Amino acid sequence: MITAFISHPDCDLHHMGPEHPESPLRLEAIRARLALSGLLQQTMQSEARPASEEELARVHPLRHLRALDKCVPATGIVTLDSDTLMNPDSLSAARVAAGAVIRGVDQVYRGQADNVFCAVRPPGHHAEATDAMGFCLYNNVAVGAAHARARHGVRRIAILDFDVHQCNGTIDIFKDDPDILICTSFQYPFYPWRYLRSEWQNVVNTPLEAGTDSAAFRKAIEDDWLPALHAFKPELVLVSAGFDAHREDPLAELCLEDEDYYWITRLALDIAALYADNRLVSVLEGGYDLDSLGRSVEAHVKALLGLPFEQ
């Protein structure tokens, strides 16, 4: 399997203050872990390009995009909400984060890679059509899905989100869209406090109680996601890869282990192999304990490369 690794130096320029958990240190921890393990060298590394206004506007109205542009400070940090802040470089980082998913989609459709991991920030799955929130400015995975439709004519797209928080933004953008299947597991009840009920036929919610362990998580995914995915038969699998359901993560209370991320990545790859000619593009969402984040991404990338899980 050819696995592409897409990132961009501008992702490190976005910061929201020294105490904010969504920090540039997250990408440093991922790169260091992958380089130390030798996995990074086994990937096809490339640099993202910024998403254009036209590409972003497929999921975010122009008036919202231009309102965000006006919020960018000349210096310092401005607050969009209690969790989400911007510095002068934040939108540059957000554009290349979204652009990474676009490039990943292009790579799997041009036959340049079988699958892709986008190591980018800020994350995106909380960004709704007209609302930046939850550390997120643009909805990276939604921009990638819209690009797959517009550029490559993809009809059925599955978005799999295993972050500890539900992907309210992705649901907001694609709810009631029969050609997008959203499968999302999350701690319940928990932020973002909206879209937590299953009211749309194309959304498979998998709420998990605080303290949920590996066995309960795997059973819930198999029971909820697999029937829907086999019925849907996606032509492209997109993954919102959040690693904050790990037992060591400080922001939540699920108890997943490193190997669970290998397991769920293999599950996603199996679906992609069955129905999507192996096409899978993954994009980083959450994960805030730096050590467990690095190890979890290592497990994720091992699975993408087709390597066995080893501690």
C-alpha pair distances (Å), 17 with each of 21, 79, 89, 92, 157:
9, 11, 13, 17, 36
3-state helix, strand, coil in the chain (%, to 5): 40, 15, 40
98: which 2 tokens?
A: 């979204």
Side chain identity, residue 171 = I
Q: How far apart are CA 253 and CA 191, in angstroms?
A: 12
CA 62 to chain centre: 23
Q: How far apart are CA 307 and CA 272, in angstroms?
A: 17
Instruction: State the chain's maximal CA–CA distance in angstroms.
Output: 51
Question: What is the 8-class DSSP label of residue 9?
Answer: G
- Phi and psi torsions of 283, nearest 5°: -135, 135
CB 308 within 8 A of CB 298: no
| Positive/negative CA dihedral, 297, 300, 306, 310 | positive
| Residue whose entry in the numeric block shows the structure tokens 């203050």 | 17
Rg (CA), the chain: 17
Q: How far apart are CA 83 and CA 67, in angstroms?
A: 18
Q: What amino acid positions are annotated as catalytic residues?
A: 126
